[in-house]
Amino acid sequence: MRTEFQKIAVIGRHDDVRVADPLSVLVTHLTKNGVDVLVAEEMTLDLPASRLAEDTLADNADLIIAVGGDGTMLYAGRLASDKNVPLLGINRGRLGFLADITPDEMLSSVDHVLNGEYTRDSRMQLQATLSRANGENIAGLALNDVVLQRRETGRMVDFETRVGDHYVNTHAGDGLIIATPTGSTAYALSCGGPILEPQLDAVVIVPVCPHTLTDRPIVIPAHQPVEVRLLDRDNTKAEITLDGRSMGEICPDDRLTISAADKRITLIHPPGYDFYGILRSKLFWGRDSRKRDSQQSASGDEQ
């Protein structure tokens, strides 16, 4: 099979049997179709694939296939971020929105992609810069979200936000989420934020457990930078995370700036991809909740 994707890197948590089995099937299928498959040298599975250091996979691949949940997709995104390598996700997680191909559809969907039957989906990333009072700058990228969260304390944190040149609010609560449209269906959604269509050029700012009910989520244009400063209060400790990874502690004299990044992530979708269909599937939209509740009740009775 002739395909533009001659070298494909496959990643996943090989120590998880739910991932290991489909990962092995996928690698064997790709190899039989003449694809040069690349895997991390740490992978313990016996696979017909070339082995490379994991941080060099994107340097040598035309495509990365992530087998797992959205966490695996985010990790693949970090590998691909500087290399402009597209990603394809096989969902073996629970509530994945990024990895949209089911195991039953895996081989047929991959064949469609190998045959050039797919769409490209460009996703925004956020650039976060933590400017410390001592002049040190720490920077990083996030596909989902940048989060300020209280740390090692049972007390709320106080902080203020600015959008562009405008002061927005002084907040008190557990923290703040600044999310891309991709991240709007992640942590931000669980905190009451809106769902943003992936192609919107926008960012959502969502307070986490705000002290006042009037502190509400707000959607802003992506070109406007967001600035967050922690206010000096007794026993105040907070940290910044990028897609769940710690960026470091933020102190009252520091400044966190978040803006749309120049680099974007490209997702590959096989024919039939439908963002709204995924929402219906994951969030049970368009279904009679009474029937679902009765089915769950019957299942519980059988157990």
- pLDDT truncated to tens, each residue of the chain (303 aa)? 567 999 999 999 888 888 999 999 999 999 999 999 999 999 988 899 999 999 999 999 999 999 999 999 999 999 998 888 999 999 987 767 898 898 899 999 999 999 999 999 999 999 999 999 899 999 999 999 999 999 877 789 999 999 999 999 999 999 999 999 999 999 999 999 999 999 999 999 999 999 999 999 999 999 999 999 999 988 788 999 999 999 999 999 999 999 999 999 999 999 999 999 999 988 989 877 666 565 555 555 544
173 bridge partner residues: 157
CA distance 50 to 47: 9
Residue type, 44: T
Domains of the chain in start order, with CATH, are 7-123+264-291 (3.40.50.10330), 126-260 (2.60.200.30)
Residue-level length of the chain: 303
Residues annotated as catalytic are 70
What is the helix (H) or strand (E) element at residue 190, kind and residue range? helix 187-190
CA distance 81 to 2: 26
